[in-house]
Structure 1
């Protein structure tokens, strides 16, 4: 047998190298297209400038001009006297009138001058104006009265009730301003402001932000 014929490949011998290179081409094209789509997607959705955190905070305040942060139930005890017929007829009324007062922040007074942003520590410092106290809301339907007098006319009774209502409103206003209630109201206000500002800042992409809240006259924490 001729040795040259043994070394000559038969026309029927399968050739596998070229088909292997051809079959890999679609996968390479697919991977390239996938990378291209990923690149365009990154360009479209990549994080951009987060903007001004103070502007984001002020927008959060615009929707609520006044924020009620705390309320207190009071029960002032008052007493009034009435004298008629040249002092011959005397009457007295003691009243316990439940009252409700609310503590609110005027957010329209909180501008950029009351905010400071520290980008390095992601800390927003906010200085609040004094709390406002509402006029006491007297619940005279639940009031309790104790009247003293041998003869109390209708006119005397009406006057005693009016006088006690005015006294109860005045006393409730004084009680609402006591240091204990004011301290509770300020604590509630600070927590409310932290929540009102930290959540919008997180949604805006600023991450875990620390909000430090103080009132006018309070020392600014380091």
Structure 2
């Protein structure tokens, strides 16, 4: 029998900002390539069905967002460490399970909210101002096939084991959401979102004949970077 351990003593992993930033760079590459392809597809659709003249750059920008209701801009791999207990026969049989369950969380932008009212074109400075809705944190995708468990108890029935597993799954989802919404990961997700949107807008504008334009992006409630 393994010695008793209090669930409050179970260490909770702290995010390593350096490791997360390195992971973010690796994970951002395929998303940016995907965004570039979507932007080109939107541009060719605009060329095929849009007006012959350049027209309004805002119309070109809005076209780049059409049919992209939700855009995944960032993903984080997390490893929640959780523990649950079970008591049966009026406390005579005690059991405990510690679990490490890998989880993946996606961060998305709701592009259906981005219309002309969120865009502003400064013709004198050839600058497009964009205001984005907040980045949304998706539901954690738990990889229970790769979960690791440590069980303690003299005898653990099948019902008790099932209950421990269900409780740990619920706790892992809660902890994954808490980890995913920490300031370090949210900043990385917002940075990735800005880079993705800039790619999504710059390519159609350049190919449509507007040349190199400046794109300044901010989120709701955020001050625009004036640099």
TM-score bin, normalised by smaller chain: 0.7 to 0.9
Residues in 2 aligned to 1:221 and 1:88: alpha-carbon distance in whole angstroms: 63
Of 201, 207, 216 in structure 2, the residue corresponding to residue 197 of structure 1 is 201
- Higher RCO, Cα 8 Å, sep 6+: 2
- Greater Cα radius of gyration, structure 1 or 2: 1
Alpha-carbon offset, residue 63 of structure 1 = 2.9
3-state SS of 2:60 partner: helix
Question: Which residue pairs with 1:29 in the alignment?
Answer: none
Alpha-carbon offset, residue 220 of structure 1 = 1.8
Of 141, 166, 191 in structure 2, the residue corresponding to residue 162 of structure 1 is 166
- Equivalent residues in 2 for 1:110-129, closer than 5 Å: 110-129=114-133
TM-score by length of 2: 0.76
Question: Which residue pairs with 1:74 in the alignment?
Answer: 78
Count residues in correspondence: 175
Residues in 1 aligned to 2:224 and 2:99: alpha-carbon distance in whole angstroms: 44
Of 211, 214, 226 in structure 2, the residue corresponding to residue 210 of structure 1 is 214
TM-score by length of 1: 0.77
Structure 2 unmatched ranges of 5 or more: 1-51
Deviation per CA, 1:118-176: give whole Å up to 9, x if none. 11111101010001111000000000000000111111000000000000001101111
Of 181, 188, 194 in structure 2, the residue corresponding to residue 184 of structure 1 is 188
3-state SS of 2:191 partner: helix
Structure 1 runs (4+) deviating above 4 angstroms are none
Alpha-carbon offset, residue 64 of structure 1 = 1.4
State yes or no: 1:109 paired with 2:113.
yes
State yes or no: 1:131 paired with 2:108.
no
Question: Which residue pairs with 1:30 in the alignment?
Answer: none
